[in-house]
Amino acid sequence: MNGDIDPKKVCVLHFGQVGDVIMAFAALNAIRKRFSDSEIHMIGGKTPAKLVGDLRLVDKVTAVDRYRLLRGPKARSIKEILQLVRDVRRERFDLVIDLHSLYETNLLGFLSGAKKRLFASRQNRSIDFLSNFRPRPVSYDPSKHLSEIYQDVIAPLAIKQARDFALVIDPLLVERIRASHFQNKTGKVMIGIAVGAGHPSRTWDLDKFCELAGRLSKNKNAEIFIFLGPEEEKNIDQITAKFFGIASTLSGLSLFELAAACKSLDLFVGNDTGTTHLAAAVGIPVISITDSRAPSTYFPRGRQTRVVNTDTITDIAVEDVWQACIDLLRLSTENKSRKKEEPKEN
């Protein structure tokens, strides 16, 4: 292992979607610890890069609108790409780590001018000869969980596997979100539900979410909060009306604020999407609703995470999700009681 490298400036590239980047948090944290005296930058997609910056997982972030670069006018895209390359070269990075490895990010890493380049080796997705770090990381293994694949990428840096990772959220932000949205809710079970997803094929039926919320509110003395992302806000009136008398709807929260809100929850229920991964990263009990077409290697990672799935998401019954919620709430209560009974260290 190449354990004697001591870079002054490190650039981490990750142009994956929000859930992909969240599953790289443990790797980012491990890089931060390994190079504690280095300046760590991350370059990534607009939304996940902002989240990484807000959480202060690195020292500096550069957010790139990859969709605009790919879909915008070619002349403008070429101009913006050239400017990005100039900006990256100006930073004079000593080490570039491409966790996700795409053709375009490998090229960016190569053009950065960094002396050392460590890229994930992905069949048909990476340009391996542009990476010069030795030893090379093991090739991408699709049978592994994505968070473990990211750990494999950084293993040549003499970084040990670090699977367990929970986000540390600023307590002042947690208190501000609690005062703004969860005041006077003490004594009740607090449950958050995210009804949206990036694609209709990954979205559980809204009426089933409503039925689940009603059962939890009635039978568990629970206070239910429906979290709406930007894609659901256009239908906020319809969704609010559907959950009237059952749950409160919350919209306009950034991902950073959502992470802080999760700290006040006893349970989070959501589709297979970035917000569910974020709740799992916070360390609270999470139910992820998905279907069997989604590979388990992309499931949210967490000790208190349960996945409810079947052949297609439309066939998942309310009873199945309800039972998972009851089981996980009971287990969480038992764990909290056990911790209270454990003797405190002097």
Q: What is the residue extent of each domain of the chain?
A: 9-157, 171-341
Q: Considering the entire predicted model, what is its pTM?
A: 0.90
All residues at 6 or more sequence positions from 86 whose CB lies less than 8 Å from its CB, including other chains: none
Q: Specify the pLDDT at position 342.
A: 64
Mean pLDDT within 175-203: 85
Q: Measure CA of the first residue to CA of the last residue in the chain; give whole Å.
A: 39
Do 9-157 and 171-341 show the same overall fold?
yes
- Check: CB of residue 169 under 8 Å from CB of residue 263: yes
pLDDT in tens, 211-232: 999 999 988 789 999 999 988 8
| CA geometry: angle 44, 109, 20, nearest 5 deg | 35
Q: Specify the pLDDT at position 29.
A: 93
pLDDT in tens, 59-118: 999 999 887 877 778 788 888 889 999 999 999 999 999 999 999 999 999 999 999 999
Name the CATH code of domain 9-157 (choices 3.40.50.300, 3.40.50.2000, 3.90.420.10, 2.60.40.10).
3.40.50.2000
Sheet-wide strand order for 305-310: 247-251, 222-228, 189-194, 267-271, 286-291, 305-310
